[in-house]
Amino acid sequence: MSADTITPAVAVGAVLRARSRRTALVFVLAAALLAAVAVASILVGVRGIDPAAVWQAFTHPVADDVDHMVVLQQRLPRTLIGLAAGAALGVAGVVIQGVTRNPIADPGLLGVNSGASLAVVLAISFLGVTSAVGFVWFAFAGAALAAAVVFSFGHAQPVQLALVGAALVAFVTPLTTLVLLRDQETFNSYRFWVIGALTGRDLGVLAWLLPFLGAGLVLAVFLGHRLNGLALGDDIARGLGQNVRATRLLAGLAIVLLCGVAVSLAGPIALVGLVVPHAARRLVGSNHHTTTALAVLLGPVMLLGADVIGRLVVPNAELEAGVVCAFIGAPVLIAVARGRKVAAL
């Protein structure tokens, strides 16, 4: 077929097929990268373990073998929790940025992290909770309550949501600090949780939280076409027959579930929910169906990758994943902002 006989429809079809192939390639590469990071999370640690011993731990575990215990009781739960928390943070970031139409929105903007932090501090100070496992439900409740307050008083409007979230952070943070200053023991227990890490949790906690994670992910996928409509503006979304307020309320429920799970499992990890949506949009475009699906892969890649790096950079010790995520995410965001490459929502 000569160039003169190529119709616009044929040209558009060729472009769409090329885009579909590129998107498929991105997903394959992201899945391969996630698999590599997950394997590294099992293999790499402060304690050197031979890969053959790691394989034997899964195939023929020995109860009193120290290496097998490290793999099955520490590294495997840590990896699975990183997968769950990373997916929750990545998808939550996509939903938050979509519903607020704010490219720098993340769980911290809506006060979710602050609400979880206050709940954990109160649990430590007044109820005597000291274990990471004990923090889980208080963190989930605090995150859920904070998000519910923001969406209730924000009247499901993008600007008002951001303002109410900022006001909530400004109100809750001094209260948290006040409790911490009056009780050194509370501060000592809280500081290990607030940094954000994948250690100290077990698979029982993850099992309890999986239904909430699943519900949040399903709801986020369901909202994909609705968030695409919101990206065009409220008036156009209403013209397409969409109930804008209902969409934002459902998005708020998804955010509560996803952020509650992530904060409960790993603490208030920063920047994963901010960086991952930008990366997903640059790789596959602004369609919320594809960005949500890709965020399920990229979120764990970033969080587990940070956790693996944290095990390697300090000799005979570990740097918490939350600290490494901040080191990774901050320069990326600065580069994006300076280069004016923030992907359009």
Burial of 201 (0-12, 13-18, 19+ CB in 10 A): buried
Element (H, E) at 36: helix 8-43
Question: Would you say 93 and 274 are in contact if contact means Cβ atoms under 8 Å apart?
Answer: yes
Amino acid identity of 163?
L
> What is the distance of C-alpha 244 from the center of its chain?
25
Does the pLDDT at position 304 exceed 90? yes
Predicted TM-score of the model (pTM): 0.86
CA dihedral 78, 49, 67, 204 (to 10 degrees): 10
Ramachandran region of residue 332, left (φ > 0), alpha (ψ -120 to 50) or beta?
alpha
Q: Which pLDDT tens digit goes with each residue over 220-241?
A: 999 998 998 888 887 787 887 8
What's the pLDDT tens digit per position in 154-167?
A: 665 667 777 888 88
130/133 Cα distance (integer angstroms): 9
Cβ-based neighbours of 58, under 8 Å, separated by 6 or more: 71, 72
Please compute, for residue 298, the number of CA atoms within 13 A of its CA located in the half-sphere on the CB side. 28
Per-residue pLDDT tens over the stretch 27-59: 999 999 999 999 999 998 878 888 888 888 888
Residue 51, token pair as written in the block: 């890969």
pLDDT tens per residue across span 79-138: 999 999 999 999 999 998 888 887 777 777 778 888 888 888 888 888 887 776 677 788
180 contacts 121 by C-beta, under 8 angstroms: yes
Domains in the chain: boundaries: 32-338
**Into which CATH architecture does domain 32-338 fall?**
Orthogonal Bundle (1.10)
pLDDT bracket for residue 15 (50, 70, 90):
low
Q: Nearest-CA neighbor of 100 among 38, 155, 168? A: 155
pLDDT at 305: 93
Q: Give whole-number Cα distances, 179 to 114, 121, 165, 264, in Å.
A: 14, 7, 21, 20
Return the SS3 of 221. Answer: helix
Question: Cα–Cα distance between 328 and 306 in angstroms, integer?
Answer: 8
Report the chain's mean pLDDT, rounded to a whole number: 83
φ, ψ for residue 108, nearest 5 deg: -65, -30
Packed helices 112-127 and 184-194: angle between N→C axes, nearest 10 degrees: 140
